[in-house]
Structure 1
Amino acid sequence: MSIQKISEADLIINPDGSIYHLNLLPEDVADIVITVGDPDRVGEVSKHFDSIDLKKGKREFITHTGNLGNKRITVLSTGIGTDNIDIVLNELDALVNIDFETRTVKSELRSLDIIRIGTSGSIREDIPVGSILASTHGLGLDALMDFYEPNNNIEDVYLQQKITKHLGLEQLRPYLTAGSSKLLHQIGHDLLQGITVTAPGFYSPQGRKVRANNRFEGLIDKLSSFEHQNQKLTNLEMETAGIYALANIFGHQALSINAILAQRKKLEFAKDPQKIVDNMIKLVLERI
């Protein structure tokens, strides 16, 4: 049986052997990958490393790889949104699981631990500004997974159907994926936990209203009122669901840790957001 070769149009490799967008070589990627949205936050994470042996950047994708104790860690900025997550997760997987010389999938696949550390807004009154929350699941309101063959277990499908019926947003085709139970136990065991909602935008898709009228009025109230067997929708951001869904398809472990900077029910925003983010970074690095 012939081995399928991936075309040059499907997998674009730069002249220096690096992958198209991330500009990384296969050896640049550690088994532990921390993703951040903001390129400036990469240095805020890597400054805690004992050593940094790689710094690369292209567009919004900035990468530092180094060592913390006896662990090698890659920190990578994704930019905002699941459209960028589509690029980052596909290219990370290609870097570790595709032989760039033969353009074929490797016989032995490598599984990465992918940990998102990002900012988010609470949609429940009992989750205040300043909290650090671990996402048990990601619920996507974007269209990314309409283009992929799903790989969800029956529990995720059942919960997604319950949420979709509650929200009355069938036309959006929400998708839901659980995060890594291994990483949740390791990093988020004593943190607040909940289902994180991933929106395809910052303003109307997250229920904000500035000048344009919103199509889905009362979105925050609909989201925050869902509860099923102690599972609740807890916060809003723009990447988690895409990370969880693609990591699940590719066989990687993924966890999203969220610094709560906004309280959408009480209309509050953090007075010192950088302090909250710094506390989150230190907590994750201590537990990796």
Structure 2
Amino acid sequence: MQLGASELILNPDKSIYHLNLLPEDIAHTVLVVGDQNRVPLVSKHFDHIDLKKGKREFITHTGSYKGQRISVLSTGIGADNIDIVMNEIDALVNIDFDNRSVKEEKTSLDIIRIGTSGSIQPHIKTDTFLLSEYAMGFDSVLHYYDSEHIQYPEIQLAFIDHMEWSVFKSIPYVVESDAQLTERLNSNETALGFTATNVGFYGPQGRKLRLRLEDNDLNSKLASFVYQGKQITNLEMETSAIFGLAKLMGHRAASLNCILANRTNGSFSKNPSETIDNLIKYTLDKITSF
């Protein structure tokens, strides 16, 4: 079946609409970062950079590190941007742009988030490298896809009861990372986590400036939720959508965050730039040692 022009949108040079990439521009290992200014912080470690392209907040560098071809791509902030990025990355490898049709033989990518996050557990200190095993999404992106078979409804329902969740909020969903890729990235330098993906930075993460919150106890209730030993460890804004969409599309996804803030004691990393760079080098060395 040929995909319509309004569904698969291509630029005049046949690059995918938002990312501005051609199929040959993307490597099979893709590092995704939120901040477009973090892309060169990753690619500066490459042996060489073969490609630099960008459009809006979506910047891509593709090159080689220790002989392995790698792309690093900025997503911008939020799960809505992840919906764009994941669908367009997948289209680059699994849709024939000339025929505008889905390929019979599918390609699986390794997609690894390198991000920053805040801990809500006192034992997870600033500057920790947190590797997410599970993610809980408050963003609702996955609910627009046929996805119930990859969710964990028993955790979701227990969480809704624990939080006394408002019916006016989206239903949380729980998804898992790719177990094999996560295991390969794990070491004694990482802490395993259960990440909450929020829909904003202020109210949705319990921050209060001028506006009153719907639930003043949001973060303490998040921190106290436990299901069969699983406890929410940190807050950020992308991981759940990456895990969910990757799993639906047949890609492998993992998420590494450096903990810059501990929300329970109000502390913040004394040298966030160094911590981020250390996580970047850790990730590059890990993926090239597979």
Q: 1:183: which partner in 2?
A: 181
Query: Within 5 Å, which residues of 2 pair with 1:260-279?
Result: 260-279=259-278
1:24 Cα deviation from its structure 2 partner: 0.1
The 1-side partners of 2:100 and 2:107 are apart by 16
The 2-side partners of 1:92 and 1:58 are apart by 14
The 2-side partners of 1:224 and 1:196 are apart by 11
Q: Secondary structure at the match of 2:146?
A: coil
Q: 1:113: which partner in 2?
A: 110
1:162 Cα deviation from its structure 2 partner: 2.4
Is 2:164 the counterpart of 1:164? no
1:176 Cα deviation from its structure 2 partner: 1.0
Q: Secondary structure at the match of 1:73?
A: strand
Q: 1:64 aligns with which of 53, 56, 61?
A: 61
CA 180–197 in structure 1, closer or farther in 2 if over 3 Å, else same: same
Q: 1:129: which partner in 2?
A: 126
Q: 1:237: which partner in 2?
A: 236
The 1-side partners of 2:135 and 2:160 are apart by 13
Q: 1:93: which partner in 2?
A: 90
Q: Secondary structure at the match of 2:3?
A: coil
Instruction: Tell me if structure 1 keeps the 8 A contact 2:137–2:241.
Output: yes
Instruction: Tell me if structure 2 keeps the 8 A contact 1:151–1:248.
Output: no
The 1-side partners of 2:93 and 2:154 are apart by 32
Identity fraction in percent: 50
The letter for the 1-side match of 2:245 is L
Q: 1:48 aligns with which of 33, 45, 48?
A: 45
- TM-score normalized by the length of structure 2: 0.95
The letter for the 1-side match of 2:177 is G
Unaligned runs of 5+ residues in structure 1 are none
The 2-side partners of 1:66 and 1:110 are apart by 20
The 1-side partners of 2:125 and 2:160 are apart by 26
Q: Secondary structure at the match of 1:152?
A: helix
Instruction: Tell me if structure 1 keeps the 8 A contact 2:150–2:244.
Output: no
1:123 Cα deviation from its structure 2 partner: 0.3
The 2-side partners of 1:273 and 1:81 are apart by 21
Deviating more after overlay: 111-120 vs 215-224: 215-224
| Pairs aligned (count) | 284
The 1-side partners of 2:247 and 2:132 are apart by 15
- TM-score normalized by the length of structure 1: 0.96
Q: 1:220: which partner in 2?
A: 219
1:142 Cα deviation from its structure 2 partner: 1.4
Q: CA RMSD in A?
A: 1.2
Instruction: Tell me if structure 2 keeps the 8 A contact 1:152–1:177.
Output: no
Q: Secondary structure at the match of 2:8?
A: coil
1:227 Cα deviation from its structure 2 partner: 1.6
Instruction: Tell me if structure 2 keeps the 8 A contact 1:151–1:249.
Output: no
The letter for the 2-side match of 1:196 is T
Runs of 4+ in 1 over 6 A off after TM superposition: none
1:167 Cα deviation from its structure 2 partner: 2.0
The letter for the 1-side match of 2:82 is I
* Residues 113-172 of structure 1 deviation map (CA, whole Å, 9 limit, x = unaligned): 000000000000010111110011111111212311115347x23222222322222633
The 1-side partners of 2:14 and 2:249 are apart by 22
Q: Secondary structure at the match of 1:115?
A: strand
Q: Secondary structure at the match of 1:274?
A: helix
The letter for the 2-side match of 1:174 is P
The letter for the 1-side match of 2:39 is V
1:201 Cα deviation from its structure 2 partner: 0.4
1:188 Cα deviation from its structure 2 partner: 2.0
Instruction: Tell me if structure 2 keeps the 8 A contact 1:63–1:74.
Output: yes
The 2-side partners of 1:216 and 1:71 are apart by 47
